[in-house]
Chains A and B, each alone.
Chain A
Amino acid sequence: MIHITTIGYFFLVVFGAFIGLLGSVMGVGGGVFIVPLLVLVFNIPIQNAIAVSLISIIATSSAVASVNVEKGLANVRLGIVMELTMAAGSIAGALLMSHLPTKIVSLAFSIFLFPVSASMYLKSRKKIVVSNFKQERTSPIGGTFFDPASGQNISYKAERMPLAILFSFFAGALSGLLGLGGGVVQVPVMNILCKIPIKAAAATSNFMIGVSAAASALIFYKKGYVISDISFYVSLGTLFGSFLGMKFLYKAKSEKIQTLFSVLIFIVAIRMIFKSL
């Protein structure tokens, strides 16, 4: 039986709001922060913490996507194509969880994150070149959105989709294995590999991570790991933070989001290396 005081619940809502704000701006679910907090501060077993994290990821994803889909920031076509392999990876990850040594997976993942972080940081230092594609869409995987920060309509077309789809499987597998949404992989893949503007990449990632989190959450729910009241308070906070964060995402400068994301990936990589040693 897990006992949490009223102040503890209040703290969960506030922390959830912070995670929701961060997640909606950067396209991640915040699992890398929620799981350690619940384990280290509230002494919640890791499986339960992962389950709570997955529930709050669904809340963030649904809230953010419900706004960004209409604004054209989240690309539903790109999202559904990548979700296909992401969902498959998510199931494979959840099934492999009991067979694969998690430490080796964590180590391999963290080593992969360093060049990604460096690449995103270097990209954020360069001046953003606004694509001036014609408004016609020759590829079904492309889109246009209005960016208030630059005051222009930005059009893009996704490149190297087969490779991105492959990485999406890997992102899904991480969701099942480690209880993450997978946004920490999806955003750099879409931004660096597919040349999708960071705001559209973050919004599309947020749109997708709900599916991988739901696929894993169903398995955790059936195993009885979901703690309903804690999940509610954390999700309540993330919902509030998500709606605040979306206003920020829409107005923020793209290069600042990229810098912030590269720092986040670096922190995640360091944390995972220590965890796997």
Chain B
Amino acid sequence: MKEKEEKKFLKSIQMSLRVGLIVFFILSSLGLIFKNGFLLSYGIIALVFTPIMRVIMLCFGFYRLKEYYMALASFGVLVLMTISLLI
């Protein structure tokens, strides 16, 4: 049971990273094809936010697995990344 949950957890991390990369690729490619600077920039922003999404998934995942210290560490990373966004 625990192994199944762990696999599901790792799969969700994998998915968050892949979705970020796909969004980056699609938006940036469209931006280049249609010479749209905004789309290109949004693609880059999607890529920059991919690790942040991954940290959010880790935070929720560890919480669901009842690994509270790890969830707290993930939340700490998230707070620090928010700080860098505000600087």
Contact = CB atoms under 8 A, between A and B. Distances in A.
Nearest to B67: A140
Contacts of A90: 84
A80 B77 contact: yes
Nearest to A81: B73
Nearest to B84: A215
B77 A58 contact: no
A80 B73 contact: yes
Interface of A: 55, 58-59, 61-63, 65-67, 69-70, 76-77, 80-81, 83-84, 87-88, 90-91, 94-95, 140, 210-211, 213-219, 221, 226, 228-229, 231-232, 235-236, 239
30 contacts: A59-B47, A65-B13, A65-B54, A70-B10, A70-B14, A77-B70, A80-B55, A80-B58, A81-B73, A83-B55, A84-B76, A84-B80, A91-B84, A94-B87, A140-B67, A210-B50, A210-B51, A211-B77, A214-B48, A214-B81, A215-B81, A216-B84, A218-B81, A218-B84, A221-B45, A221-B48, A226-B44, A228-B28, A228-B40, A232-B32
B10 A229 contact: no
A218 B84 CA distance: 7
Contacts, number: 123
Given A84-B80, A140-B70, A69 B48 contact: no
Interface residues of B, number: 42
4 A-B pairs closest in CB distance = A210-B51, A66-B17, A87-B80, A215-B84
